[in-house]
Amino acid sequence: MSWRANPIRNRILVALLKRKGEIIDDDLTRLIQKNDQSVSSKNVEKELMNLEIAGVVSISQITRTRKRVKLINKETLNPSLFTKEDLK
């Protein structure tokens, strides 16, 4: 098992912050896979479920296969998790 330099959780949160706190799940998966081909959609879904359980994001179904991921409260995020480059 290899450790990722930038965990999927952080990449999801950065993507949400860049998109003003809201993104479609397919777009999110594509965005993450663009930088790291080894990340599967199943990994992204699992991490989204963990974030939803933790109360960080809200996930609502748009259609049968598409979901909207929304950042609930960005004030609760620890700013030390992100670099300035992440948020550009």
Centroid of chain to Cα 12: 2
* In a domain? residue 56: yes
pLDDT band at 87 (very low <50, low <70, confident <90, very high): low
In the predicted structure, residue 65 carries a pLDDT above the cut 60: yes
pLDDT of residue 78: 63
**CATH classification at residue 55:** 1.10.10.10
Residue 24 domain boundaries: 8-74
Q: CB–CB of 59/48 below 8 Å?
A: yes
Q: Which two tokens stand for residue 81?
A: 């998790």
* In a domain? residue 21: yes
Rounded to 10 degrees, what is the CA torsion of 58, 74, 29, 40? -90
C-alpha separations of 72 from 4, 16, 37 in Å:
26, 10, 28
* In a domain? residue 88: no
Give me the number of domains the chain comprises: 1
Q: Which two tokens stand for residue 75?
A: 């004030």
pLDDT in tens, 16-61: 988 989 999 999 999 999 988 888 999 999 999 999 998 899 999 9
Q: For residues 3-23, give the mean pLDDT.
A: 84
* In a domain? residue 24: yes
